[in-house]
Amino acid sequence: MFEVRGLHFGTAGVPLASPKPSSVEGIKTVRQLGLDAMELEFVRGVRMSDRLAEEVRRVSSELNVLLTAHAPYYINLNSPDESKVEASVRRIMDTARAAHKCGGWSIVFHPAYYGDDDPSTVHERVKRALRRVVEGLRDEGVEVWVRPETAGGLAEYGNLHEVVALSQEVEGVLPCIDFAHIHARTNGAYNTYDEIASIFTLLEKELGEECLKNMHMHFSGIEYSERGEVKHVNLEESDYNYEALARALRDFNVEGVIISESPNIEGDALLLKRAYESLK
């Protein structure tokens, strides 16, 4: 995996301002907006020709736009149906292959649902499946980071400690930290500077200082209930304290990428970027 320097700000998918809803035009628009990252959204399936992937790779390299990718939503590494587990493994690997062809750096996915199972049992199943994913990608020469995302709903496997444990136990895996999901999952916590800073302190303690130089993060405004995430909203329509997030990113010298998943994807990406840059 190649090294990323500095902190890149970007959009989850093609910006709304893009003249065409294509990956290539999205990358160009990202750069025109003053951003420098874009997440390829394979959430409905991994479909990209080799020819298009090569064009995406060329344009992103020329414009210095960092690429990541989001795997399909239809993933559950804890399904009682083994065929669905196999399909989930395949979707993660297909996402990694596509990202690699595009020159991407990192992929993210939602790992599993608890169902009726004990969280520790789910963790072991997810860990076994992820080892297969990482080993298979390594054998193919596919070099991207594989990142389970912190989940927003209480029914979903993937609290902060679970994704950190996966990263400790499976080589080639690091967490994707979704600050809105953590906020929603804890019914409004992790919204002060000290609480947000505690996330980075935990990561540094458990995964080493180098983890903070290799971060894949998501943020947005969010609505939530006692069961966790309800839906993503724009930052200024939510209670999320993005200014505290900007301060923590600066104070911990975090490097990597942070992707806006708000409905107004580029507007909130720019809002956080400006808040961050004002702290120099």
Q: Assess if residue 225 is contained within a domain.
A: yes
CATH number of the domain to which 121 belongs? 3.20.20.150
Amino acid 93: pLDDT: 98
Residue 118 makes CB contacts below 8 A (sequence gap 6+) with none
168 belongs to a structural domain: yes
- What whole-number distance in Å separates Cα of residue 180 and Cα of residue 223? 9
Residues 30-55 have a mean pLDDT of 96
pLDDT in tens, 215-256: 999 999 999 999 999 999 999 999 999 999 999 999 999 999
pLDDT at 43 over 90: no
The per-residue DSSP string of 222-268 comes to EEEETTEEEEEE-GGGS---HHHHHHHHHHTT--EEEEE-SSSHHHH
Assign 115 to helix, strand or coil.
coil
Per-residue pLDDT of 187-218, as tens digits, reads 999 999 999 999 999 999 999 999 999 999 99
Model pTM?
0.96
* Residue from 13, 9, 58, 68 nearest 34 by CA: 9
Does 74 reside within a domain? yes
Are 268 and 229 a contacting pair, CB within 8 Å? no
Task: Tell whether 2 is covered by a domain.
Answer: no
Structural contact between residues 267 and 12, judged by C-beta atoms closer than 8 angstroms: no
Domains in the chain: how many in total?
1
Say what the pLDDT of residue 116 is: 95
In a domain, residue 61? The reply is yes
Provide the pLDDT for residue 1. Answer: 75
Using pLDDT thresholds of 50, 70 and 90, give the confidence band for residue 3: confident
Check pLDDT > 90 for residue 2: no
The answer to whether position 84 is within a domain reads: yes
206 to each of 68, 209, 269, how far by Cα in Å?
A: 24, 9, 28
Name the residue range of residue 259's domain: 7-277
According to the model, what pLDDT value does residue 280 have?
75
| Cross-strand bridge partners of residue 259 | 10, 218
Is 1 a member of any domain? no
- For residue 165, is pLDDT > 80? yes
pLDDT average, residue stretch 94-116: 98
Instruction: Judge whether 219 lies within some domain.
Output: yes
Per-residue pLDDT, averaged over 1-14, amounts to: 94
